[in-house]
Amino acid sequence: MKRGPLIAVVAAGVVLLAVAGLVLWLLQRPPGPQAVAEDYLRALAGGDAETALDLVASDSLDPSMIEAAFAGATATISDAEVTGVIEDGETATASITYTLDSTSGSGELMLQQTPTGWKVAPDGLGTVTITSALGDAAAIGTAVFGVNEPVVLLPALYQIDAAPVGILTGALTVAVAPGSAATAALQPQLSDTALETASAQVQAYVDACTAPADAVPENCGIRVPWAADLATLTSLSFRVETAPTLAFAEDLSSFAATGGVLVATASGTTRDGSAGTFTYRTDDWSLRGGMAFTGNQLVLSVD
């Protein structure tokens, strides 16, 4: 008579264990394509590049560059919604709507099954191909990208700046939508501070050229006729009375720093074997060479 309740208690325990196992299975089950698409859109709207990229199925992306660009996005998508999902085996298509730059948009997100669960296909991102009339790069956020090739970005609104930033001016705002291929054509101009910045480079070069030496420095535009007075040269010292003044060529392909006044003092042994020191003055010291806008730098190369 006392065994009935025991059996009932055991049976109830079995049911509870079964329910607990089902709940645990549901909790551990990877999210389906709709949930992944919603999580992806939510991460984009919240400015969470890391989470968004974790939901994308691609090992060929450079997440650091994409995150650096996304950090500088001027606006992210909003009012994003998954309106339907169609599954087809290991792939799925999610229909989405969103707002970007006050403009309503719609499209599709392709998803695919991976060993770690559903992921957004790489075309859930977008691309922008940048061209530039000057320089070989452009900046988006803190990332610098080459021109004339597609740049993969997370969907958002971006400001694209001519590079080198601070040397060149000119910016465009481009909306990159999911799966879109945008273009941006930059028309850079020299900034008001470009000459000042480049002059600092020239001054650093001048300082290196005029450091004490035991031979005439090469590629410095310096001529010291010490051999007319000395048999051997022991040391050279320089005094810059007037630094060369920098100017860019009109086509920005070369530079000239001219009008420098330099005094060189040469010490050594004269032809009769005695020690001697002689001073030479140049009133037209100049440096000339090429210039290029490479990456995020203005590079001056002295001829």
Question: What pLDDT digit, counting tens, does each position of 143-176 carry?
Answer: 999 999 999 999 999 999 999 999 999 999 999 9
- Domain holding 140, by residue range, is 33-189
20/268: higher pLDDT:
268
Q: Over 50: is that where the pLDDT of 280 sits?
A: yes
Range 4-13 average pLDDT: 56
Q: What is the DSSP letter of 58?
A: -
| Residues 131, 259 share a domain | no
pLDDT band at 22 (very low <50, low <70, confident <90, very high): very low
Question: Which of 164, 189, 214 is a domain's end point?
Answer: 189
Question: Which of 155, 173, 189 is a domain's end point?
Answer: 189
Is 282 part of a structural domain of the chain? yes
Omega of the bond prior to 115 within 30 degrees of 0, cis? no
Is 247 part of a structural domain of the chain? yes
Number of H helices, E strands in the chain: 5, 18
- The amino acid sitting at 42 is R
Distance CA 133, CA 189 (A): 9
So what's the pLDDT on residue 61?
87
pLDDT band at 279 (very low <50, low <70, confident <90, very high): very high
Q: What angle do CA 265, 220, 233 make, to 5 degrees?
A: 35
| Residues 152, 94 share a domain | yes
| Residues 57, 178 share a domain | yes
Is 129 part of a structural domain of the chain? yes
Q: Is 31 helix (H, G, I), strand (E, B) or coil?
A: coil
- Per-residue pLDDT of 282-296, as tens digits, reads 999 999 999 999 999
Q: Which residues pair with 114 in a beta bridge?
A: 117
Q: Measuring CA to CA, how many Å separate 189 from each of 107, 164, 194, 248?
A: 37, 11, 10, 13
Is 19 part of a structural domain of the chain? no
Distance CA 157, CA 101 (A): 7
pLDDT band at 29 (very low <50, low <70, confident <90, very high): low
Q: Over 50: is that where the pLDDT of 124 sits?
A: yes
pLDDT band at 18 (very low <50, low <70, confident <90, very high): very low
Looking at the structure of the chain, the number of domains it has is 2
| Residues 220, 139 share a domain | no
So what's the pLDDT on residue 13?
55
pLDDT band at 43 (very low <50, low <70, confident <90, very high): very high
| Residues 39, 154 share a domain | yes
275/15: higher pLDDT:
275
- Per-residue pLDDT of 52-102, as tens digits, reads 999 999 878 899 999 999 999 999 999 999 999 999 999 999 999 999 999
Range 110-125 average pLDDT: 94
Q: What is the DSSP letter of 214?
A: S
What is the signed CA dihedral for 191, 192, 195, 200, rounded to 10 degrees? -100
CA atoms within 13 A on the CB side of 49: 18
Q: Where are the beta strands (DSSP E) in the chain?
A: 78-88, 91-100, 103-114, 117-120, 126-132, 137-140, 143-146, 150-153, 156-162, 168-169, 171-176, 181-186, 189-190, 232-242, 245-248, 254-269, 275-294, 297-302
| Residues 237, 115 share a domain | no
Average pLDDT, the chain: 91
